[in-house]
Chains A and B, each alone.
Chain A
Amino acid sequence: MIEIDNITKTYDATAVVDQVTLTIEPRTICVIVGTSGSGKTTLMRMINKLVKPTSGHIRIDGEDIGTIHAYELRRRIGYAIQGHGLFPHRTVGQNIATVPKLLGWDKAKTADRVDELLSLFQLDPGQFRDRLPHELSGGQQQRVGVARALAAKPNILLMDEPYGALDPVIRAKAQEDLLNIQRRFGTTVVLVTHDMEEAIHLGDKIAVMDKGKLLQFAQPSEIISRPATPFVAELIGTSERPFRLLSLAKVADHIETGAVDGQPIDAKASLRDAYAELLWSGRPALPVQRDGQIVGQVTLAALSRLAARPQ
């Protein structure tokens, strides 16, 4: 659990982060979203003491981080940034082994961990371990960057616009990877982005920031249906709201009985995908399949109701 308690950071009398208080539950993904200059990155960088707060406290599992040496704290927290920040003169394996080496792990344990992480990120260890970062594609470099951040099995992972430099297809893949890994290890993730779509897709909770202030800290559905300020509503995009709401739920949770013909949709798809398919194919209902079996249908009428503002 990360408790941010009334934290303020001022530079030359300007508050970059202004009296922010929020609590991030363990094993969840918290996305901090805002425009550039909103203080979102500064807020995140105070969690691993890359920025020293002017006032306020941050506690991790009840322990005030002010009492921990900066470098000791950082070795316990994963850190992945935009443009990956890989060390260009070190191989992929050496990059991933950075924190284990700082922590004094023995060679065999480190090597095992490096190979385990490479496999986890679908990079064949034999093929990639000894390559240099510049020999990798952008998507591969980004995966190595996240693997490096996870090397010493941190409970907390901080990510600063990790997918900012990736093209949409590779970004979607990287986001799925992150969700899978977070579920598997139960890591607490704090991710900074300016992309509301990404925030809604990844976040268990979203913190919206503007001009140093925390405007709203809530679950995605809450942010979409009840934006705290006009600015939050604008960030979501008013014309996007119904679709964003649909994107939060899976077809599996809204299957109706009944049978229709035609191309089925998978139960794991989001309601948004189902809605798009209904509109595109001009059908009032789609059959739903799970593990190859037709298990019911999803209807345009039901989705239209679900897309409306919750009362």
Chain B
Amino acid sequence: MTTVDNTAISSRPNWLALDKLGILIALLALAGTVAPFALFRANRIVLGEPRSVFEALPGFSAGVLAVVLLGGFLIALLRLPRRTKLVGGFVVLAALFIAIGQSASFLTPEGDTFARVSPGAGFWLLVFAFALLVTDALTRLRFKPLVRIAILVAVIAAIALLLWSGAWNQLSMLKEYGTRAAAFWTEGRTHLVLAFGSVAIATLIGVPVGIFCYKIRPARAAVLNTLNIVQTIPSIALFGLLIAPLAWVAANVPGASEIGISGIGAAPALVALFAYSLLPIVSNTVVGLLSVSPAAVDAAKGMGMTNRQRLMAVELPLAFPVILTGLRIVLVQNIGLATIAALIGGGGFGVFVFQGIGQTAMDLVLLGAVPTVVLAFAAAVVLDAAIEMTSRGGRRP
């Protein structure tokens, strides 16, 4: 009898079992289908009226989306191969992104330029649920670094295609963009300069300081503690604190105001972001150098490398992945923090966030927030891949 039972159990297909994370994803997705898919507002600041999937889309599209969602729901729930889950997740996300654009065109009355259609809680929940499915599958599939970057590029290209094709033009966020296109790109450039510029300067200064702390032991504690204190100052306070000294420099140092230094604006923002970047870069440089195998360092000395040769040929290359990890931390951190620069007139995507808060226009807040998140995410993926490539010993001169 038991033999028969055993056969029955083992002959049950593997994929019919439930996936634990899949249950959570399915619950989120279920909540997402119940919550309103889109919000309709007669103008940009009134409260939105909820619209369900079937109200927000023409009948045929709503049907297609429902079928795709049902498929995605099952793919998440069942223990299917990870590649199937990955592809399924991408298909659902693509369907959601196309549908939200379509619903915007569908809900906006012909010729009405005041009406605003924005994604509702349901849309966001669904996106979150299936993004979770995709990232989980990606993590578990352990793709090679270059493959991960290729996937990132493909996703960005797909989003760019949607934007370029005009499929999203009726969405509230893009209507906000439409009235501010020039400002959007200017602020975007400022944002990049603030985030990448501060990290670049911090790297140029932080790595040598880290090497100094590594070589001269007594300096280590003093330097790291000082930088630690800087790190504890709240960001808004630090932005504010720099106004007075930089204003003084601008007024008293010849040539300072000509190169753009002033009490408010981009200069104090850059200085503050730079100050925040120093600790992770310096400490990761020190930790990275300290983690180099003592045997390799001893061998380098014993074979007659000079201090400089040892640093350039052995210590820095071996510490590089750890230093790069520090860079990844500050780059992602600064892309986010740079939004606050807008508070002291430093520009960046934060300008839209704060304008949006002031006008209670959430679409405008999103216009600043979404590109920031996408930038930070892309930077994290690219640098993670770079760290993996350099630490695998796959480096050849």
Contacts and interface: CB of A to CB of B under 8 A. Distances in A.
A89 B303 contact: no
B304 interface: yes
A72 B303 CA distance: 9
B298 to A, nearest CB: 6
Given A85-B295, A88-B393, A134-B393, A48 B305 contact: no
A85 B298 contact: yes
A207 to B, nearest CB: 20
B202 interface: no
A231 interface: no
Nearest to A72: B304
A191 interface: no
A71 B301 CA distance: 8
B304 A73 contact: yes
B236 to A, nearest CB: 42
Nearest to A76: B304
Contacts of A89: 317-318, 393, 395
A99 B303 contact: yes
B314 A79 contact: no
Interface string B243-275: 000000000000000000000000000000000
A50 interface: yes
B299 A86 contact: yes
A145 B296 CA distance: 11
Q: B interface, how many residues as a size bin? A: 20 to 34
A301 to B, nearest CB: 50
Given A85-B293, A88-B293, A71 B318 contact: no
Interface string B289-323: 00001011011111111100100011001100000
Contacts, number: 68
A71 B304 contact: yes
Contacts of B313: 87
Contacts of A149: 303
A91 B396 CA distance: 8
A89 B317 CA distance: 8
Q: A interface, how many residues as a size bin? A: 20 to 34
Nearest to A130: B396
A111 to B, nearest CB: 15
A132 B299 contact: no
Nearest to A149: B303
A82 B298 CA distance: 11
Contacts of A148: 299, 303
Contacts of B303: 74-75, 79, 98-99, 102, 148-149
A81 B304 contact: no
23 contacts: A48-B302, A71-B305, A73-B304, A74-B302, A74-B303, A76-B304, A79-B299, A81-B299, A81-B302, A84-B299, A85-B293, A85-B295, A85-B296, A86-B299, A87-B300, A88-B293, A88-B393, A89-B393, A91-B396, A102-B304, A134-B393, A145-B299, A158-B302
Interface of A: 48, 50, 70-76, 79, 81-89, 91, 94, 98-99, 102, 132, 134, 145, 148-149, 158
Interface of B: 293, 295-296, 298-306, 309, 313-314, 317-318, 393, 395-397
Given A85-B296, A88-B318, 11 more contacts: A48-B302, A50-B301, A71-B306, A76-B304, A83-B295, A84-B295, A87-B300, A89-B318, A89-B395, A98-B305, A102-B303
